[in-house]
Amino acid sequence: DMMGSVFVFPQESQSASVQVKVELEQPLDNFTVCLRSFTDLGRPHSLFSYATTKQSNEILLFKAGPDRYEFYVGGKFLLFKVPQSLGESEHVCASWESSTGIARFWFNGKPWPRKGLQKGYRVGVPASILLGQDQDSFGGGFEAQQSFVGEISSVYMWDEGISTSGVRMAMYDQPEQTPLFGWRNFPYQIMGEVYLKP
């Protein structure tokens, strides 16, 4: 149980990441990813990267700038503009459904307007899932200038969509639906210089 703990990524690095040790059996037609990050980076950086051997940006949550998030599904992405938060952690969730292609994004518990991409797509398996680096190949291909520096916590992934009330519950580590993995039962392996701290 990771309650009250955070992963600290102390410096820019071409190796530091946290590998999520989960084996997904089935391709995903729906999913939701949530996490909390705390950083003062102004440059682009990767938060959550899900790669397959065929597609390195199968799912990617990427912060492109202080007021912009990019949400990738199957190599294509949507841009969500957010207010700049100074000196505060940010909680984001992103969900997608194949049948309509509708993607949803929440910033600090507030829903943003829905958009669409990759209707009919299926997110492949097996997956390499990492925090703090952008995979350009399966489990590798990192660039230091896209690495995360700061703190990441409260990471969850579901194989279904969740509601805005579900997002708010996840913000406080009280998820309504059972996740594929989550902060209360988080299977991880640290790669390189990352520390788990209270």
Check: pTM over 0.85? Answer yes or no.
Answer: yes
Q: In the structure, what pLDDT confidence band is assigned to residue 85 with cuts at 50, 70 and 90?
A: confident
User: In whole angstroms, what is the distance from residue 83 CA to residue 64 CA?
Assistant: 13
CA distances from 11 to 1, 54, 114, 129 (A): 26, 30, 34, 21
* pLDDT > 90? residue 86: no
Class of domain 6-197: mainly beta
Query: What are 57-81's pLDDT values in tens digits?
Result: 999 999 999 999 999 999 999 999 9
Q: What is the pLDDT of residue 136?
A: 97
Which pLDDT value is given to residue 44? 98
**Is the model's pLDDT at 121 over the cut of 90?**
yes
